[in-house]
Chain A
Amino acid sequence: MKSSVMATQGERWFSRVNALVLILVALLCLFPFYYVFIVSFASPAEVRQSVLLLFPKQWTADAYRYLFSTSAFPRATGVSLFLAIVGTACSLVITSMLSYGLSRKRLKGRRVLLLMILLTTLFNPGIIPGYLVVRDLGMINSVWSLIIPVLTSGWYVLLMKGFFDSIPAALEEAALIDGCNDFGVWYRIVLPLSLSSLAAFGLFYAVAYWNTFFTAVLYINEPEKWPLQILLQNMLIDSSTALGGVTDSALQDVPSQSKKMAAIIVSTVPILLVYPFLQKHFAKGAMVGSVKE
């Protein structure tokens, strides 16, 4: 009797300490974002004076006004939005058509093709040969070099094919026999059944395109075509953070710290906005994400 009472007391303490540590971990995960957010909105005086600014007394959006009155920042944001929207659409169409084809038994040679795609996940020839292909296609400094070379991946094709495998062929037979062609079957029958899965893949593609950095380092040399992530990195390295083009003298006073933080927030917000939708698809997402980036 006594030992069970002690056990339950111990249990209670265990639960409390456990919960407390988890709350601390969650706060640690979020605090940097919160701090960046706060400083981006704090008045210059407060940014310069306080050591640990947890809540500004005076809020100002001057840092954001500064960023969007430059020419470079809105342009880079536009490039990243273009990538996230157009790139995701292209990737979904290409990936789902290929995966669908490969999942159908009526496609001859699918074994060989699947093996061929599996091989690409095993061996990566490296940066240089890929760069030479993109260069020889004349895509250097084209915004398409940030989309076409990363349109799809072996992992995504194999995962999506696995999903289409679970759609029984019987569903399509009737339509095929009624004279509907394969494209029509895919478009009218299979896609509507796969919307939630497509949404999951779409969100992961969108996040990847929005976060485009590496391909832009390789393929884009002209600052006018930089996506947001490259501009952000340059602002961080360059302590002056003067982007040029700002005429409003009231905005010259914005501390460079606040400009940097505001730029970080702008590049973070779209992801936080789609995050609740992403989260709905974590079961599939974990599969996609934990296997390979």
Chain B
Amino acid sequence: MNSANAQAKYPGRLSGQESLGKSIVKHGALYLMIVPGLLYFIIFKYLPMFGLVIAFEDYKPYKGIFGSEWVGFAHFERLFSEPMFLTILFNTLTLFFLNLIFCFPVPILLALMLNEVRQHRFKRVIQTLVYIPHFMSWVIIVSISFVLLSMDRGLINELLVAAGFDKVNFLMNPDWMRPTYILQIIWRESGWGTIIFLAAMASIDPEQYEAARLDGAGRFRQIWHITLPSIRSVIVVLLLLKIGDVLEVGFEHIFLLLNAMNREVGEVFDTYVYVAGLQQGQFSYSAAVGFFKSVVGLILVMAANWLSKKFGEEGIY
């Protein structure tokens, strides 16, 4: 039975002309199948959005969301007058810019190098190896760094001593928090980050390289004049998306790096929300801080997306 027959026999069945009620009767199972997933989004995504009203209340758990007193923007006013606000804003922006300067270019460089490898098997082996750290949790990445950097028989300090230097307290010294953070990101994400650039490079027409070679261009000039311009749009989009995520510096990662000594340079919005909300029980205030962060984040993502469309590249939304 072909589909034209089906149309004739069951008018409207596949053309989407019927009413919602009829459609549910006919395809009940299909509607049932999406119920658990929709419930998930309602309960765990939309209910919390509604729960944000506590940012404007003096929420008391025993009074509930509906019984707590309305305080308007009091928590936001408190946030902007806290000296801590400037600290966490500064810390967030610092980590973001360090990330942009040091972590962003590494996968591009690595992808350019991988793209120049002519032996496919060698290339695949290297790719396989450099992707591995991405699948390790931050706990593992930070744990391994801890045992390597520890004062107590950590490899790096043992090597420093053997070379005649003093031990360095990498984990407790606040000056080392940011470099550690950056190096860990480079270690975990650089290999994985090459994928998207390598995919863009794979679509370059080999004839372009052929022509350049005939004109006597060496490998560096080919990279500069052919490869880089071809992945320019990918770089621009990723850069803009990254800027849209400026406030997302990685809760899990930073949470694991923070200790009593480096809190001053490492505290960011998410960790501040965690401490104020879940450890000190200031639910309303910390919800307000989180709300502020989410709204700024939303605006930045939209702006980044709009900009990348302006540049003639496809946005994500």
Contacts and interface: CB of A to CB of B under 8 A. Distances in A.
Interface of A: 3-4, 7, 10-11, 14-15, 18-19, 21-23, 25-26, 28-30, 32-33, 35-36, 39, 47-48, 51-52, 94-95, 97-102, 104-109, 113, 116-118, 120, 122-133, 137, 148-149, 151-152, 154, 157, 169-170, 173-174, 177, 181-184, 186, 207, 210-211, 213-214, 217-218, 229-230, 232-233, 236, 239, 257, 260-261, 263-264, 267-268, 271-272, 275, 278-279, 282, 286, 289-291
B116 to A, nearest CB: 5
Contact of A117 (B30, B41, B218): B41
B143 A236 contact: yes
Interface of B: 1, 3, 6, 9-10, 13-14, 16, 20, 23-24, 27-34, 36-38, 40-41, 43-49, 51-52, 54, 110, 113-114, 116-118, 122, 125-126, 128-140, 142-148, 152-153, 155, 158-159, 161-162, 187, 191-193, 195-196, 199, 216, 218-220, 251-252, 255-256, 270, 273-274, 277-278, 283, 286-287, 290-291, 293-294, 297-298, 301-302, 316-317
A18 B51 contact: no
A99 B41 CA distance: 13
- Complex A-B, nearest 4 residue pairs according to Cβ-Cβ distance, in ascending order: A126-B290, A98-B37, A129-B51, A211-B137
6 contacts: A52-B162, A108-B23, A129-B48, A129-B49, A264-B143, A286-B199
A214 B251 contact: yes
Contact of A106 (B16, B36, B252): B16
Nearest to B50: A129
A105 B30 CA distance: 11
Nearest to B59: A132
A133 B33 contact: no
Question: Among the interface residues B45, B133, B255, B291, which one has the most CB atoms of the partner chain A within 10 A?
Answer: B45
Contacts of B14: 105-106, 169, 173
A126 B1 CA distance: 53
Contact of A289 (B136, B192, B252): B192
Contacts of B256: 233
Contact of B37 (A94, A186, A214, A261): A94
A129 B45 CA distance: 10
A30 B129 contact: yes
B121 to A, nearest CB: 12
Given A129-B52, A186-B33, A177 B143 contact: no
B20 A109 contact: yes
A231 B186 CA distance: 25
B118 A15 contact: yes
A279 to B, nearest CB: 6
A130 B48 contact: yes
A29 B130 contact: yes
Contacts of A98: 33-34, 36-38
Question: Among the interface residues A26, A126, A157, A177, which one has the most CB atoms of the partner chain B within 10 A?
Answer: A126
Nearest to B195: A286
A132 B298 contact: no
Contacts of A106: 13-14, 16, 23, 27, 30
Given A29-B187, A125-B52, A279-B131, 10 more contacts: A15-B117, A15-B118, A97-B37, A105-B14, A106-B30, A125-B291, A154-B41, A213-B137, A236-B143, A291-B316
A121 B38 CA distance: 14
Contacts of B301: 122
A132 B51 contact: yes
Contacts of A108: 16, 20, 23-24
Contacts of A130: 44, 48
A289 B134 contact: yes
B220 to A, nearest CB: 8
Nearest to A13: B219
B78 to A, nearest CB: 15
Given A51-B159, A286-B196, A229 B48 contact: no
B172 to A, nearest CB: 12
B6 A173 contact: yes
Contacts of B132: 29-30, 33, 272, 275
A213 B254 CA distance: 13
Contacts of B270: 127
Contact of A125 (B130, B251, B255, B294): B294
Contacts of B143: 232-233, 236, 260, 263-264
B153 A94 contact: no
A130 B270 CA distance: 13
A213 B129 CA distance: 25
B114 to A, nearest CB: 7
A182 B34 contact: no
Contacts of A124: 294, 297
A104 B125 CA distance: 40
B38 to A, nearest CB: 7
Contact of B140 (A39, A169, A267): A267
A16 to B, nearest CB: 11
A123 B131 contact: no
A271 B273 CA distance: 31
